[in-house]
Chain A
């Protein structure tokens, strides 16, 4: 399984084979004029729980690496499934497979889409819950030397 570095940060807590890493601000924020108003930066920090095979200690600077493509998989589940459900829901009414009385056709399509979106959301929630069972599964820390 390939690994790629996503961010750098400092270890704030170590618990068994897991390390809690406080991430530094991402590249997307460096040049943003609104970063002082932005919640993820001004409201605190981002921290990630990662496997700690190199026994990093509190205060160590580390690189957080993804194992495989977890963020992409999670994104596909989180956004892809509900979007697909929304699209299918709308197509059901658009194609005439379902008729919703007393509503404008567009509202009917939207309502059906929302039901599909909800269904996709539940599936995504279930899939992510299954994937997230083991903490430290998605990320690993490597000591910065």
Chain B
């Protein structure tokens, strides 16, 4: 039950994009079409889940025993960047069409502060290994959810008469703000 609540909390109540405003760059950049939003969401969920577990191991089995917790930022950034590079290399090797269409978005994952935020939150809240795993999956699902909702709205917006001065980034920010307001309705439903 606790793990289920943790999952729901990370995915909906404390959504990384719409509650913490982390990972806004891909949220705005890759939300023009629902299919690319879903693909990006899958990629981010994958990296988030793996990095949540790897950073847990590094923090608890290396940094804490050797009393060098101060290096957590450096260690986490290195882990996340290496992980994304590995994923990119694997995709380039295995799936050329996917790399050609998604490759351009992959560096966005490396510079996605939501992933570093996830690792830091997991440490701060002293999650166990399994809790970190569930937190990672929940945060990834929440990220995908936010991205897909946004993409759905933007696809509709393409057919709507948006006033000239609001077109492009302007209307995107207004929609993002409205979505964040809507997600505020979940605030406090589950504590962290």
Contacts and interface: CB of A to CB of B under 8 A. Distances in A.
Interface of A: 4, 6-7, 23, 25-29, 31-32, 34, 38-41, 46-48, 66, 69-72, 74-80, 82-83, 86-87, 90, 94, 104-107, 109-110, 113, 117, 121, 124-125, 128-129, 132, 138-139
Interface of B: 25-26, 28-30, 32-33, 35-36, 38-39, 42-43, 45-46, 49-50, 53-54, 56-57, 60-61, 90-91, 94-98, 100-108, 111, 129-130, 133, 137, 169
Contact of A32 (B29, B42, B100): B29
Contacts, number: 121
A104 B129 CA distance: 11
Given A28-B26, A71-B36, A76-B42, A94 B102 contact: no
A124 B90 CA distance: 11
B35 A69 contact: yes
Contacts of A41: 104
A70 B30 CA distance: 17
10 contacts: A4-B33, A7-B101, A28-B108, A38-B107, A40-B103, A46-B101, A71-B35, A75-B39, A106-B57, A125-B94
A75 B38 contact: yes
A94 B39 CA distance: 29
Nearest to B49: A83
Contacts of B129: 105-106, 109-110
A78 B95 contact: yes
A28 B29 contact: yes
